[in-house]
Amino acid sequence: MTVRLRVNGIDRELDVDPETPLLWALRDALGLTGTKYGCGEALCGACTVHLDGEVVRSCVTPVRRAAGKQVTTIEGLSPDGSHPLQRAWVELGVPQCGFCQAGQIMSAAALLAKKPKPTDAEIDRSLSGNLCRCGTYLRIRAAVKKAAGEP
84 is an interface residue for another protein by CB under 8 A: no
Stretch that binds ligand FES, among 8-16, 99-107, 118-126, 141-149 (CB under 6 A): 99-107
Contact between 54 and another protein (CB under 8 A)? no
Q: Which stretch binds another protein (CB under 8 A): 50-58, 64-72, 93-101, 109-117?
A: 93-101
Q: Name, in order, each residue with C-beta under 8 angstroms of 47's C-beta and a sequence gap of 6 or more.
A: 23, 35, 36, 37, 38, 57, 58, 59, 103
Number of residues that bind another protein (CB under 8 A): 62
Choice between 18 and 98, CB closer to ligand FES: 98
21 near another protein, judged by CB under 8 A: yes
Q: Which stretch binds another protein (CB under 8 A): 50-58, 64-72, 98-106, 111-119?
A: 98-106
From CA 103, how far away is CA 130, in angstroms rounded? 7
124 binds another protein (CB under 8 A): yes
d(CA 60, CA 42) in angstroms, rounded, equals 6
Lay out the sheet containing 10-15: strands in order across.
10-15, 2-7, 70-72, 48-51, 54-57
Q: How far is CA 102 from CA 40, 115, 151, in A?
A: 16, 20, 24
Q: Which residues bind ligand FES (CB under 6 A)?
A: 37-40, 42-47, 57, 59, 95-101, 132-134, 136
